[in-house]
Amino acid sequence: MAVAAGRTGRPTLAVVGATGAVGTVMLQILSHRADIWGEIRLIASPRSAGRKLAVRGEEVEVLALAEEVFDGVDVALFDVPDEIAERWAPIAAAKGAVVVDNSGAFRMDPEVPLVVPEVNPHALRVRPRGIVANPSCTTLCMIVALGALHAEYGLRELVASSYQAVSGAGRAGVDTLRRQISLVAGTELGTSPGDVRRAVGDDTGPFPEPVALNVVPWAGEARADGWSSAEMKVRDETRKVLGRPTLPVAVTCVRVPVVTAHALTLHARFESEVTVAKAREILATAPGVVLFDDPGAGEFPTPADVVGTDPTWVGRVRRALDDPTALDFFVCGDNLRKGSALNTVQIAELVAGARA
C-alpha cells in the first residue's frame, strides 16, 4: 500500500486544483495534520500559475498544469472538473503517481477503488489504473456512520433525504445564496405565492429555483424516470463503498439555504433486530463519528454547529416504530471537509503508508 519515498526521504505530494474551494480546504488540512510529506507541489490552470498559496506555514508558487509537473510526484490529489480529471489523472498515473481523484470521473470505474478510510480501507490494495476515487460530498456526509452500523447489523435497505448546502454547487452556489439573501433580508417576502421568485428574478445561479427563504427538491442533472444525478450518485456510491451491489437505495436530494454542511435523514433497515442502546454505542465509538443526541435538551447536530469540523455528527437516533430491524437517524457533516478535502487527504495518507 505504501509508495516509494522521494529524494527528501518523504513522499512528494501534488495538489491539482489548489486554488479552488476544496483545494483551499485541502491546503488548510495539510497544514494542520501530521506532516508526512516532503515537497508539496501546487498545481492549477495556467491562469492561476504564479500565484502563491500558504501551506504548512510557507508560501508556495502555483504551477500550471502540464505533464512535467508530475515528474517525481508520489501521490497526486485532484480536485478539478470531470473532464480535466479524465484527461490528466491517467497522465499523472503514467508518470508514477498514485492519483486520488475527487471528481466523478472514475467513481464507478470497476478498476478504480472508491474509498472511505473508516469504512473500506482494504479497497486500496487493488488499484490497477493507479487511481483511487473519492465519493461525492453527500455520500461522505453519511457513509461513515452508516458503515459503522452496517458492520454490526448488515444493511439491507436505505431510504435517505438530503438537505444540501449551496457550497456543494461551488462558489457560484454560495455567491448566489448571498445575493439572494441581500434581496430578501428585512422584507416581508415569503408570505404570498411567487413573491420570492419575483424578487430574485432570473438570478438563480446554478439552481432551478430561489434558495433564499426556500428549499429546492433537486440537485444535479436529470436522469431517467425523474431521478437526478446527485440521487443516483448516492445510490451507486453507497453500494460500491459497502460492497453491496444490489442494495435497495432510494434518495431524494434537496438544496437548502445553508452555506456549508450537508445533512441527511436516514431510514436504514438491517438484517437483524436493532436496539437504540447498541446503535448509540456503535456510533459513539466509531472513528470519525460524533454522537450528539439529546433532543429533550435541544441537543442534535445542525449545519450551523458542525461547519468547519471533521467528523460526521449523528443525532435523533430512533428505532422505527413499525420495524424492529430499522433505525431512523439524522447525520450532518461539512461537505468541504470530510465531504471532499479531508477524505481525499486521508486516502493519500493511507497510500503513502502513514496509516497502513
SS (H, E, C) the chain: CCCCCCCCCCCCEEEECCCCHHHHHHHHHHHHCCCCCCCEEEEECHHHCCCEEEECCEEEECEECCHHHHCCCCEEEECCCHHHHHHHHHHHHHCCCEEEECCCCCCCCCCCCECCCCCCHHHHHCCCCCEEECCCHHHHHHHHHHHHHHHHHCEEEEEEEEEECHHHHCHHHHHHHHHHHHHHCCCCCCCCCCHHHHHHCCCCCCCCCCCCCCCECCCCCECHHHCEHHHHHHHHHHHHHHCCCCCCEEEEEEECCCCCCEEEEEEEEECCCCCHHHHHHHHHHCCCEEECCEHHHCECCCHHHHCCCCCEEEEEEEECCCCCCEEEEEEEECCCHHHHHHHHHHHHHHHHCCCC
Active-site option among 122, 137, 253, 332? 137
Q: Is 262 a catalytic residue?
A: yes
Residues 265 and 281: their CA atoms lie apart, in Å, by 19
Active-site option among 141, 150, 262, 332? 262
Active site residues: 137, 262
